[in-house]
Amino acid sequence: MPTGYLRALKRAVTGDPATPLVFLCNFEVEQRWATGFPGLPAPAFSMTGPLVTRMEELGALLAGPDDHLIAQHPLDPGFLDYVRSLGLEPPTVLVTDGPPAESTAARAATSPELLATLRGLAARGARLMPMGLADDGLTLAERSGLPVAAPDLATVVRVNSKIYSRRLVEDTGLRAIPGWCCETVGEFADLMATVGDRCSPDSALVVKDAYGVSGKGLVVLDDPAKARRVVRAATARAKRRDDERLHVVVETWLPKRADLNYQLTVDVHGEVRLDFVKEALTRNGVHMGHISPAELDAGQHDEIRHAADVVGKALHADGFTGVVGVDAVVAADGAVYPVLEINARFNMSTYQGGVLEVLADRLPASLAAQHTLRLSEPMAFADVRTALGPLAEIDPVRGGVVVTCFGTVNAMADRHPGEPFEGRLYFIALGPDRAAVTELAAATRTALDTFTGGAR
* Per-residue pLDDT tens over the stretch 380-438: 999 999 999 999 999 999 999 999 999 999 999 988 888 999 999 999 999 999 999 99
**What number is the average pLDDT over the span 299-307?**
98
Does residue 361 carry a pLDDT above 90?
A: no
Mean pLDDT computed over 118-141: 98
- pLDDT score of 214: 64
Q: What angle do CA 320, 296, 345 make, to 5 degrees?
A: 20
Distance CA 192, CA 246 (A): 14
Would you place residue 456 in the very low, low, confident or very high pLDDT band (cuts 50, 70, 90)? Answer: very low
Instruction: Lowest mean pLDDT of 242-256, 273-287, 326-340, 380-394, name the range.
Output: 273-287
| 254 secondary structure, DSSP code | P
Q: Which of 42-56, 163-177, 388-402, 421-435 has the lowest mean pLDDT?
A: 42-56
> Whole-angstrom Cα distance, residue 122 to residue 438?
44
Phi/psi at 159 (nearest 5 deg)? -80, -10
H helix runs in 270-320, sequence order: 298-317
- In this structure, the number of other CB atoms found within 10 A of the CB of residue 99 comes to 9
Report H helices in 98-222: 104-108, 112-123, 135-144, 153-159, 162-172, 185-195
pLDDT given for residue 283 in this prediction: 73
Q: Which of 118, 108, 128 is nearest to 63 (CA)?
A: 128
* Backbone φ and ψ of 169, nearest 5°: -60, -45
Q: At what angle do helices 224-241 and 185-195 cross, to 10 degrees?
A: 170
Q: Which long-range contacts (CB under 8 A, 24 or more apart) does 226-229 make?
A: 226/199, 227/192, 227/196, 227/197, 227/199, 228/192, 228/196
Q: What is the pLDDT of residue 47?
A: 57
User: Is residue 158 within 8 Å of residue 247, measured between CB atoms?
Assistant: no
Q: Range with the lowest mean pLDDT among 45-59, 352-366, 412-426? A: 45-59
Mean pLDDT (whole number) for 68-81? 97
> At 37, which amino acid appears?
F
Sequence-distant contacts of 13-18: CB under 8 A, at least 24 apart: 13/129, 13/149, 13/150, 13/267, 13/268, 13/321, 13/322, 13/323, 14/127, 14/149, 14/268, 15/267, 15/268, 18/66
Q: Which of 126, 58, 127, 60 is nearest to 89 (CA)?
A: 60
Phi, psi angles (nearest 5°) of residue 156? -60, -45
Whole-number Å distance between alpha carbons of 369 and 75: 21
Beta bridge partners of 280: 259, 290
Q: Give φ, ψ of 378 to 5 degrees.
A: -60, 150
Provide the pLDDT for residue 212: 87
Look at residue 312 and tell me whether its pLDDT is greater than 80: yes
Residue 307: left if φ>0, alpha if ψ -120 to 50, beta else—which one?
Answer: alpha
Please tell me the predicted confidence (pLDDT) of residue 27.
93
Per DSSP, which regions of 256-397 are E strands?
256-266, 272-283, 286-292, 322-331, 336-343, 365-375
